[in-house]
Structure 1
Amino acid sequence: MDHVSWIERAEAVRPPRGLWIGGEERAAATSRTIVTPRDGAALGELAWADAADADAAVAAARRAFDHGPWPRLAARERGETLLRWADLVEQHRDELALLVTLEMGKPIRHAWEIELRALIRCLRYYGGLADKIPGEAPQTVDGEIALVTREPAGVVAAVVPWNFPLTIGGWKMAPALAAGCTVVLKTAEQSPLSMQKVAALGTEAGLPAGAFNVLSGDGVTVGRRLGEHPDVDVLTFTGSTPVGRHFLRYAGDSNLKRVHLELGGKSPNIVFPDAPDLGAAAAAWAVFFNAGQMCTAGARLLVHRSVSDQVVEAVVAAADRWRPADPLLPDTVMGPLVDRRGLDRVLGRLATGIAQGGTIRCGGESRRGGSYLEPTVVTDTGPDNVLVREELFGPVLAVQTFDDEASAIELARDTEFGLAAAVWTADLGRAHRVARAMRAGTVWVNCYEEGDMSVPFGGVKLSGSGRDKSRHAMDQYTDLKTVWINHG
């Protein structure tokens, strides 16, 4: 991955310019200049949707669902379309990775190796699963038959975040489309480019007009309109808890559409005294990968007091390898935060956390200009410190210490969130006890951020409800229908 070639390709890339509605690129009433967090340079003008554009996209999806071929195709044919789509995404992997890097600052290596791999695997997983969701024929009495079938739920609105624009976009659109639904996907304001290109490839793969539509635009306008729209049957959202509350209200005030939410997190990463080296080695990656812009980031490091100095010193040493750099350089492991607003928010919370007693052990400064932030480790953070309580979405690690298993569990559970947690120990019994005690959708033991398309992802408490990934995601986009037949 030669750095000169990526920089030269970035200069030559031509980002999409329009919205994707009804199987074609369309203009909008307004446009917005898109800039890259890499250096603040303008990437060009992009069509910016308003409420009328959202209405047009929903109308296209509604026509495609009510009258078009997609829901009426054999499930096998829908799956084959998704498989062709995956092949096209793989063929355009370089271009799509560049768009991801330019729009939100993800290092090009991670965009190419991780983000695109995730989307390709997602499309292939649901392409293969499409015709493997069976119905039921419960046993009844003689002369009567009961059939329980799964039918596509209708028009799905998906509102996705900027930190993994293609990964999470795929987790929403692929199972919905595999189920036979039609989709309107709203990109995040900070990452509106890459999914537009993916949509064009979907049409090339054989998606009929209106089956998959992509909108860029402001959340307060386009996101709200999708949430309130009476022709949207299901809404799925990944993002902040406050916005998730808004979507529940929109649904309640409109047609009571189903709402599935994957919201924030403040994941505890618990290191016991019998596994300090393993825990320390993973702790830096768990919070600095993607510049800490992960809902599952291990932003709370809980360490047994007897090994806390050892673990913290190892994490501080590892932080030096995560210094931010140009995301188009192939050796860069951490790029900028998505924009200056995000950086200012993290710096503001960091200042508050220090005022509340925290001690910066490393980092805490923006040295390159733009929205780059040094990886930061903060110790002496009490249970009420803002760095422990709030999701920062930046490369900031808050360290807490505990004295025994019971106090570790108490600290870990002392959060409003419940997305993920991790446990590092050589004691299998302890691993089971602590994992079961966690109120979280995912618990990793002696690893972090591991998973597969076959396992569900989502949270509890203020981290939301519903699940992405796995066959369980298909439940969100299907309705159960019972047909009872008296055949005499």
Structure 2
Amino acid sequence: MTSLEELFPSEEQIPAGVRLPAYVEQREYLVGGELRMWGGDLNPVRSPVFVKTARGVEQKVIGATPLLTSQESLEALSAAVKAYDHGRGAWPSMRVAERIEHVERFLVAMRAQRTAVVNLLMWEIGKTQGDSEKEFDRTIDLIVETIRALKELDRTSSRFVQEQGIMAQIRRAPIGVALCMGPYNYPLNETFSTLFPALLMGNAVIFKPAKFGVLLIRPLLEAFRDCFPPGVINIIYGRGRETVGALMESGQVDLFAFIGTNKGASELKRMHPRPHRLKSVLGLDAKNPAIILDDADLDNTVKECITGTLSFNGQRCTALKVLLVHRKVVKPFLERFSAAVDKLKPGMPWTPGVALTPLPEPGKTDYLRGLVDDAVSKGAKVVNELGGKVNQSFFFPAVVYPVTRDMRLATEEQFGPVIPVMVFDEDEEAVRYVVESQFGQQLSLFGQDSARIGKFIDAFANQVGRINLNCQCQRGPDTFPFNGRKDSAEGTLSVADALRVFSIRTLVAAKTTKDNTTLVQSILTRRESDFLTTDFLF
């Protein structure tokens, strides 16, 4: 195993294939179809990677991005409003096939930037090379699958229905101006999972990248500019409170797609002067538990819980954030699990076989240490040998046991490599933990007794959005619904659901009379309407 003291490389030790070009001072931002140049202050982009120098270990600063103000964000809003033009703009009025052609041109341009984006994912957020490549490729696949789902939706919508003497065609239409904001842990995939459905359904979009993983959008700016009509997609940078706050206060944002904390989402939604006009789809906090019964297959359970708790250092909303283990198996589980954690390989994102990497959030190691110290002060212990060891931005995963309800780790989402383990004796204790939690995204259930598992399923079906049997929590496949209850989400995302989220059903209806039938047939055969049509996509 790499010594934590020797974790960070010198410049000479960084492989040539993953080295970034010189310091990137980005001043471009996209508004109204043009790349504008920002002459004001910049926000430095600090990598979680530190580098050995003659002066000691220093944090790598890889570039800077524009610190725009409310003025620039409102100019982006004006461009989006103009492009949408009350639903009469070229983009919302465009046939579905034409919008798909624009997105397919973007995909071609995006594929050409794979290496640049993957390298920036590694350097900006510390994601391993394999996971960075997977995120890029999965994002491409997601957009392709979204196009396929839109074609299917278009085919379904092309038919007419007749009910009670009324004939109608029901199609989906755009809603207006969408504000899309993604998370730093999946700054490409989860952001694009809302951005492209919004675009494909005919909305105009303002996109603000996450607080980390910002520079990686730069290689795609020209593609966004060249592949979409002016104002259809606008990309801004800066501090959210100033830029996004101004957008919400304007009352001209119709759709709000946000993946982050429930506190942040609530604050932004409260700024909108007409909340009844704001449609929101939100992916928020989670404290997903794994419930490990006394008859669980421990080999499989340990394997799934290692991945579930520590994939990308536990920085996933779908990560397992607390393990509830039956007292009868807590000792053998902890022995196997702790040993498996200590065998994980730490290193730089590009290191072959690396499992643990530095954390991108400033002050994160201090925050995690505070959670561990709180638990230890109340009777818990760090049970794995290397747990909690720190080197600059790196925090070795800490397995903490026994965690009790009075500890912060029992309820607070750590979003990082600290694994709280709680013990239970009666099944109702585990059920009560889930019921009383403020979060309700997912949970994992490990056990083999079908009758017992069935009772747990019934107890949890109205508590969380997804119950995973003998496997970790996860979002995919992208065709599955992704949602949550309580403070964990608002709305549902999946390839098909996202298209519905960013649109509204609109119908053309008429009484089934001879004259009306002739009228509708004339419109259809002469192709006199882009909306009322029986044409469909293959």
Query: Given the alignment of the two structures, is residue 62 of structure 1 paired with residue 81 of structure 2, yes or no?
Result: yes
Q: 1:140 aligns with which of 153, 163, 174?
A: 163
Other-structure match for 1:128: 148
Q: Give the secondary-structure state (helix, strand or coil) at the position aligned to 2:430.
A: helix
Other-structure match for 1:393: 415
1:100-111 superposed matches below 5 A = 100-111=121-132
Deviates more, 1:187-196 or 1:312-321: 187-196
Structure 1 contact 82–126 (Cα < 8 Å) conserved? no
Query: Given the alignment of the two structures, is residue 304 of structure 1 paired with residue 326 of structure 2, yes or no?
Result: yes
TM (norm. structure 1) is 0.92
Amino acid at match of 2:32: G
Structure 1 contact 156–176 (Cα < 8 Å) conserved? yes
Structure 2 contact 113–219 (Cα < 8 Å) conserved? no
**Residue deviations 1:6-26, cap 9 Å, x none?**
34x324585744222223322
**Residue deviations 1:147-188, cap 9 Å, x none?**
333111111001211111001111111111121112111112
**Distance in 2, Cα, partners of 1:236 & 1:333:** 31
Other-structure match for 2:390: 367
Structure 1 contact 196–214 (Cα < 8 Å) conserved? no
Other-structure match for 1:26: 36
1:123-272 superposed matches below 5 A = 123-133=143-153, 134-135=156-157, 137-142=160-165, 144-204=166-226, 206-252=227-273, 256-272=277-293
Query: Given the alignment of the two structures, is residue 478 of structure 1 paired with residue 497 of structure 2, yes or no?
Result: no
Describe the shift of the 1:3–1:445 C-alpha distance in structure 2 as closer, same or farther (beyond 3 A): farther
Q: Give the secondary-structure state (helix, strand or coil) at the position aligned to 2:163.
A: coil
Q: After the TM superposition, list the runs of 4 or more consecutive aligned residues in structure 1 that deviate by more than 4 angstroms.
A: 11-16, 252-255
**Distance in 1, Cα, partners of 2:439 & 2:433:** 13
**Distance in 2, Cα, partners of 1:268 & 1:457:** 17
Other-structure match for 2:481: 456
Other-structure match for 1:426: 448
Q: 1:324 aligns with which of 335, 343, 346?
A: 346
**Distance in 2, Cα, partners of 1:437 & 1:318:** 31
Q: Give the secondary-structure state (helix, strand or coil) at the position aligned to 2:162.
A: coil
Structure 2 contact 483–490 (Cα < 8 Å) conserved? yes
Amino acid at match of 2:471: C
TM (norm. structure 2) is 0.84
Alpha-carbon shift at residue 283 of structure 1 (Å): 1.0
Q: Give the secondary-structure state (helix, strand or coil) at the position aligned to 2:228.
A: coil
Describe the shift of the 1:14–1:31 C-alpha distance in structure 2 as closer, same or farther (beyond 3 A): closer
**Residue deviations 1:232-284, cap 9 Å, x none?**
11111110111121123123556731122211000011122222221111112
Structure 2 contact 32–79 (Cα < 8 Å) conserved? yes
Question: How many residues align structurally?
Answer: 482
Structure 2 contact 258–283 (Cα < 8 Å) conserved? yes
Describe the shift of the 1:61–1:428 C-alpha distance in structure 2 as closer, same or farther (beyond 3 A): farther
Q: Which has the larger radius of gyration?
A: 2
Other-structure match for 1:43: 62
Structure 2 contact 84–176 (Cα < 8 Å) conserved? yes
Other-structure match for 2:521: none
Alpha-carbon shift at residue 68 of structure 1 (Å): 4.2
Amino acid at match of 1:208: P
Structure 2 contact 301–446 (Cα < 8 Å) conserved? yes
Unaligned runs of 5+ in 2: 1-12, 51-58, 514-538
Describe the shift of the 1:437–1:3 C-alpha distance in structure 2 as closer, same or farther (beyond 3 A): farther
**Distance in 2, Cα, partners of 1:361 & 1:402:** 18
Unaligned runs of 5+ in 1: none
**Distance in 2, Cα, partners of 1:170 & 1:50:** 24
Describe the shift of the 1:92–1:433 C-alpha distance in structure 2 as closer, same or farther (beyond 3 A): farther
**Distance in 2, Cα, partners of 1:254 & 1:278:** 47
**Distance in 2, Cα, partners of 1:193 & 1:447:** 34
